[in-house]
Amino acid sequence: MTIAKALDALAPLLGERLSRSKSELAHHGRSESYFPQTEPDAVAYPETLAEVQALVKICAGHGCPMVGWGAGTSLEGHGLAVRGGVVVDFSRMNKVLEIRPADMDVTVQPGVTREALNEELRATGLFFPVDPGANASLGGMAMTRASGTTAVRYGTMRDNVLGMQVVLADGRVIRTGTRARKSSAGYDLTALMVGSEGTLGLVTELTLRLHGVPEATSAGICAFPDMHAAVTAVMETIQMGIPMARIEFVDAATARAFTAYSGMEMSEAPHLLVEFNGSPESVAQDAERFGEIVADHGASPFRWSAREEERRALWALRHNGYYAILASRKGARALVTDMCVPISQLAQAVEETQADIARGSIPGPILGHVGDGNFHAILLVDPDQPAEMEEAKRLSHRMAERALALGGTCTGEHGIGMGKLDYMEAEHGEGWDVMGQIKRALDPQNLMNPGKLVRQG
Amino acid sequence: MTIAKALDALAPLLGERLSRSKSELAHHGRSESYFPQTEPDAVAYPETLAEVQALVKICAGHGCPMVGWGAGTSLEGHGLAVRGGVVVDFSRMNKVLEIRPADMDVTVQPGVTREALNEELRATGLFFPVDPGANASLGGMAMTRASGTTAVRYGTMRDNVLGMQVVLADGRVIRTGTRARKSSAGYDLTALMVGSEGTLGLVTELTLRLHGVPEATSAGICAFPDMHAAVTAVMETIQMGIPMARIEFVDAATARAFTAYSGMEMSEAPHLLVEFNGSPESVAQDAERFGEIVADHGASPFRWSAREEERRALWALRHNGYYAILASRKGARALVTDMCVPISQLAQAVEETQADIARGSIPGPILGHVGDGNFHAILLVDPDQPAEMEEAKRLSHRMAERALALGGTCTGEHGIGMGKLDYMEAEHGEGWDVMGQIKRALDPQNLMNPGKLVRQG
């Protein structure tokens, strides 16, 4: 039972698509975040379900860990082979298999990225809305239960994965879900797999829900005197049933970084960026009503537009937010946090976090998906100063504890991976043991992405 | 290890709230459907989490089955103690614990019914939208993953349960989910529990998502030349992004039954009943646009109204649909089927089902939630003619197989219970074994609602 024997057995199956080259191992040992370089023993590039199944059976037979890899954009080290073994890179399983416009769904292979899917959908009048920022793979997005700017309207991966084909740890292949929009037929294995971070199996196919491209879109921006005013305005908007497609918060530090990066002038104050989808009449009406609400909370006049170029400029600003913030401190690396709390607790959560950051020595601009109660501090550390990374980790730790104290979760959309293992006990109590029982029932050898999500023995 | 010993040990815990009276046993041995009377050994009425936990520990210690009971409105025999033991009736755990208007959520005990919850919410401007017709308990609705007429807009119980408190088979208590609107923190235990039919634990508390009462509502009805035209109109409406709050189909036989029952005149043709929620302007606009679409498909003029009394009359008609159909054959009992297919397959599914019913001797009017691809045939049998029930079961069997052949599910919203066990293998393949592995991991003695959902050894 050795990894070496597994690799010997995999070689004839995959030929050149089993790589042990230095550059491949280095690339698949990197994380987008602060985790140390952790290289696997080999990288496999399967092209078919049959190959994945054969690979899993060989690895299972030799006790060799298997770690799925999509686009490598995880922020919590999900793709790192911390116990060695094979990284299974799905970049060659990147086909859109079937688009069904009448059912507004699509079946894809896991290596398709969200941008590639939307490119393929362009002529159909449909789109896939989940948008975590990065051009992540859809398999990876499902496995981390990703979301992003549009979750307030279209939901997260939990809501937009209708079914999956999964190769389990013993090589069995299951299909979860059906193509019906709903079902009461037994345990919801689709929901169990979404967010399971590759610890229960490797996903080889996904059926996703699509949405109609809105006939019209309006988007705009306004500044607030403080965070409380911004959050209160968002709560009122939700309660009045005005359907926002995106509602993003940026704090004063982020506004300053945006101004420096883009040249678009923003006052150094908290802002909301908002978008409405619908008919030309409804998006105009929604924007007008939103403008009235925010005015009641002391906001600057709500500047909005239904013109595509202006909307694009606004969202380019938001999409480049991470890079704008990174550029605000020369040579910095980022530790990105991911608190999510009930919306009634959001203003307090942000304010306490800002105060905590202000007491320290490193900058940490904040931005987030205010409609979901989810926000990120981008903690900017000098990579040559280990003490700064330690300070960032302490800040991140206090943010996770603050999220739990306020009734929220330690991760809204980035996942557990290795980075959030320390909070699972506090967040789930004995529920974490239940997750471990499920893991052991389905992967008794602990070969599927070991070292992640469940309690480590 | 006997049930009798468990009951002896439960008596001091629950006193008079452990009942073995004939009438109690008879009441909890009944199903709303065709299953034979199946009485438990006792009925327990716990009032607190501590009592449920103590009950579970006692039953687990003596090998005594435990079966949850909400309002007894299941159509698939979920509440029947087919292996004896204790029915745990949650009617005394019927408190709305906390309403949080700012977060638009509520925490309730499992015995609260959906109507009682909406009554309590009346002053808040919020409501709980899931509406399966019956005034079911919210615990029961969660456990069967119920939905109903509003799922096309507001989702099913899968989408509206944010978290649960559950007593597991060994007496451990877990809380699933947090009060944050989304999370990527580990396996989605909430989704695993929703639809688990009491086979993994007893739910003692639920946190539910609430929605704003719409400012305005419009509703209307129109007749179609045939099923195809009706379904095509619905698909176009969805694709154009016109947000329907309800979209219900009734076939010609149901329209005839409605006319006879209510006095409201409907032509003997397929009809759609539809509702829109929003602002006064948007619901008028939605109704007008819908009227244009259905006119293109040969429908009768779309008669709609935003006046409450007219809307109420329309939905009273639909809500009484089951009784109207039952009344259409004197003395009949009903077997209610529950196919759900991709919407592109819906017209074919309904037409084949109608033709199948027409070839036989028993009436089976059809109605359903056309926006979800979910419909029910109400098969009306003479209880004095056993051959008719056999024919109804054969029809039901062919409907379930037809649903699977068309890419759908054997149950859209009623659940598996005992009635749909025969289709789990065909629908899920090895996925059904995975459900069994999860069940055994969490309930190795098979004491939580045995005989339901998973493969029976």
Of B147, B282, B441, the CB nearest to A182: B147
Residue ranges of A 40-79 with Cβ closer than 8 A to chain B:
none
Helix (H) or strand (E) holding A134: none
Distance from CA of B182 to the nearest CA of A (A): 6
Average pLDDT of A432-447?
98
Is the per-residue pLDDT at B1 higher than 80? no
Q: What is B262-273 written as a DSSP string?
A: H-----SS-EEE
Give the Å distances, CA to CA, from B324 to B73, B150, B198: 18, 21, 32
Average pLDDT, chain A: 95
**Residue at token pair 């099923």:** B227
Is the per-residue pLDDT at A1 higher than 70? no
For residue A214, what is the nearest residue in chain B, using CA coordinates? B241
Average pLDDT of A48-66?
98
Distance from CA of A164 to the nearest CA of B (A): 11
Question: Domains, chain A, ranges and CATH?
Answer: 3-91 (3.30.43.10), 94-212 (3.30.465.10), 216-323 (3.30.70.3450), 329-415 (3.30.70.2740)
Residue ranges of B 94-133 with Cβ closer than 8 A to chain A:
100-105, 125
pLDDT in tens, B353-379: 999 999 999 999 999 999 999 999 999
Q: Tell me the CB-side half-sphere exposure of residue A423, using CA atoms within 13 A.
A: 27
Q: What is the structure's pLDDT at A382? A: 95
- Cβ atoms of A47 and A88 closer than 8 Å: no
Cα distance between residue A251 and residue A17, in whole Å: 46
Assigned token pair, B74: 């299941």
Q: What is the structure's pLDDT at A320? A: 87
> For helices A386-405 and A346-359, what crossing angle results, to 10°?
160
Distance from CA of A394 to the nearest CA of B (A): 20
**Partner-chain contact B185 A438, CB within 8 Å:** no
**Partner-chain contact B186 A434, CB within 8 Å:** no
Is the per-residue pLDDT at B255 higher than 90? yes
The confidence band for A264, taking pLDDT boundaries of 50, 70 and 90, is confident
**Residue at token pair 């009951």:** B7
Cα distance between residue A251 and residue A273, in whole Å: 11
Residue B316, chain A, CB below 8 Å: the answer is: no
**Residue at token pair 């299972």:** A60
Cα distance between residue B251 and residue B263, in whole Å: 17
**Partner-chain contact B442 A431, CB within 8 Å:** no
DSSP bridge pairs for B113 = B137
**Partner-chain contact B180 A373, CB within 8 Å:** yes
**DSSP 8-state assignment for residue A344:** G
E strand intervals along B214-327? 216-223, 244-250, 271-278, 303-305
Tell which residue, A245, A303, A255, A267, has the closest CA to residue A127.
Answer: A245
pLDDT in tens, A313-357: 889 888 888 999 999 999 999 999 999 999 999 999 999 999 999
The confidence band for B264, taking pLDDT boundaries of 50, 70 and 90, is confident
DSSP bridge pairs for B340 = B374, B409
Cα distance between residue B93 and residue B449, in whole Å: 19
- CA of residue B199 relative to chain centroid, distance: 17
Average pLDDT of B176-186?
97
Tell which residue, B252, B264, B259, has the closest CA to residue B367.
Answer: B252
Give me the helices (H) in B63-196, please.
Answer: 114-120, 138-143, 151-154, 157-160, 189-193
**DSSP 8-state assignment for residue A448:** B
Cα distance between residue B359 and residue A160, in whole Å: 40
Residue B435, chain A, CB below 8 Å: the answer is: yes
- Cβ atoms of B77 and B197 closer than 8 Å: no
In degrees and rounded to multiples of 5, residue B422 shows phi and psi of -65, -15
**Partner-chain contact B181 A343, CB within 8 Å:** yes
Considering only CB atoms, which chain A residues are within 8 Å of B238?
A: 104, 212
In degrees and rounded to multiples of 5, residue B195 shows phi and psi of 90, 5
Helix (H) or strand (E) holding B98: strand B96-100
3-state class of B61 per DSSP? helix
Average pLDDT of A363-381?
96
Q: What is the structure's pLDDT at A319? A: 86
User: Among A434, A440, A449, which would you mutate to test the B interface (most chain B Cβ atoms within 10 Å of its Cβ)?
Assistant: A434
Residue A168, chain B, CB below 8 Å: the answer is: yes
> A-B interface: how many C-beta pairs under 8 angstroms?
286
Considering only CB atoms, which chain A residues are within 8 Å of B147?
A: 182, 184
Is the per-residue pLDDT at A457 higher than 70? yes
Is the per-residue pLDDT at A365 higher than 90? yes
Assigned token pair, B298: 């040969």
Q: What is the structure's pLDDT at A385? A: 95
Assigned token pair, B124: 């808040």
Assigned token pair, B147: 């939905």
pLDDT in tens, B280-290: 988 999 999 99
Cα distance between residue A348 and residue A345, in whole Å: 6
Pairing of strands A339-340, B18-19: unpaired
Q: Both ends of chain A: CA-CA distance in Å?
A: 20
Cα distance between residue A203 and residue B263, in whole Å: 55
Q: What is the structure's pLDDT at A241? A: 84
pLDDT in tens, A272-319: 999 999 889 889 999 999 999 999 999 999 999 999 999 988 898 888
Residue B438, chain A, CB below 8 Å: the answer is: yes
Considering only CB atoms, which chain A residues are within 8 Å of B127?
A: none
- Predicted ipTM > 0.85: yes
Helix (H) or strand (E) holding B25: helix B22-27
Average pLDDT of A77-82?
96
Assigned token pair, B285: 């606009």
The confidence band for A268, taking pLDDT boundaries of 50, 70 and 90, is very high
